[in-house]
Amino acid sequence: MNSSVSALPLSTLNPANEALTLRLPSSLQLKQQLPLSNVLNQQVVAHRQAVRAILDGHDPRLLVIVGPCSIHDPESALEYASKLSRLADEVRDDMLLVMRAYVEKPRTTVGWKGLAYDPHLNGSDDMAAGLTLSRELMLEMIRLGLPIATELLQPVAAGYFDDLLSWVAIGARTTESQIHREMASGLSMPVGFKNGTDGGVTVAVDAMRSAAHAHRHFGVDSQGHPAIIQTSGNPDTHLVLRGGHKGPNYDRESVAIINTELTRLKIPSRIMVDCSHANSGKDPLRQPGVFNDVLEQRLQGNRSLIGMMLESHLFEGCQPLSESLRYGVSVTDGCLGFDATERLLLDAAQRIRQQA
């Protein structure tokens, strides 16, 4: 992976606030340089259809979004993807595994914003290189046969890899954003809206209702020009429970209350549980306990629970950014190691088969 599209020379200096503007290549330019072949495009289409079939109840498999909290190292990310591809094949009759390819990270204040922003991990913010590297990595993962998922944080960045994605998350901090709801309404793949950081689901439910409608909104076209974007609405949205300030919200009572509210609002009851964040008390090693609790609810007949999300890397834990990073260890949220992830998913597949 050595191709790159460089940012153009400095174009604007605003004396009022001294903000520097560096022009990026358009999303069309990058897609032309790193194209999705017809064969791989059909694969992405098939993966999106498979996710939709699970959401609609036509496919009984469990949907599992699994992979690093964020990608910072191409080598370890591709090693993980290779391992996950083999595991996905082993459990394909019982689960659809979708790899997390998260290249943007929301920050409460400041910090590393992800591969698309700062691929060199040094604060240089070479976003042109970051977008190129992100697209290259996603293409490699698709070539391994994997569906891929990401959280779309910056709508302008979304256009650089939206054609590669089979599933998208809108995060807890942006679910309430009108801009992200409008963006979701025009996406061609299923979208999961996370509940707010307070643990309440109202903003996510409102987001699902908004994204299902057509919108006209300000945006940028594929050539980088300001444009009016007209969308038709996205019928393939669902709720992602990630807990909140008061604790987890994946327990039976919480899920029952949420299902009642969704039914009252005539919104399809399709719920994914994020086994990390507040649901695990931010302890990555507690994710299997959350996963197994949700799986048991599903095996006992709660079919509104369509899937789970796991933060998993080659090795468990996390580490701060430094000049000497441990290979295969997250630099953002702590992750479950791959060996533990593999055991968890193989055991879950066995439990699903035994009930069939």
Q: How confident is the model at residue 6 (pLDDT cuts 50, 70, 90)?
A: low
Question: What is the torsion angle, in degrees rounded to the nearest 10, for the CA atoms of residue 177, residue 183, residue 185 and residue 186?
Answer: 180
Residue 103 has pLDDT above 90, yes or no: yes
Q: Which two tokens stand for residue 16?
A: 């009022």
Across the chain, mean pLDDT equals 95
CA distance 351 to 354: 5
Q: How confident is the model at residue 164 (pLDDT cuts 50, 70, 90)?
A: very high
DSSP state of 277: G
Instruction: Tell me what the mean pLDDT of segment 286-304 comes to.
Output: 98
Percent of the chain at pLDDT exceeding 70: 95
Question: In which residue are the tokens 């940012």 written?
Answer: 7
CA distance 278 to 290: 11
pLDDT confidence of residue 28: 98
Q: How confident is the model at residue 9 (pLDDT cuts 50, 70, 90)?
A: low
Q: Phi and psi dihedrals of 244, rounded to 5?
A: -160, -165
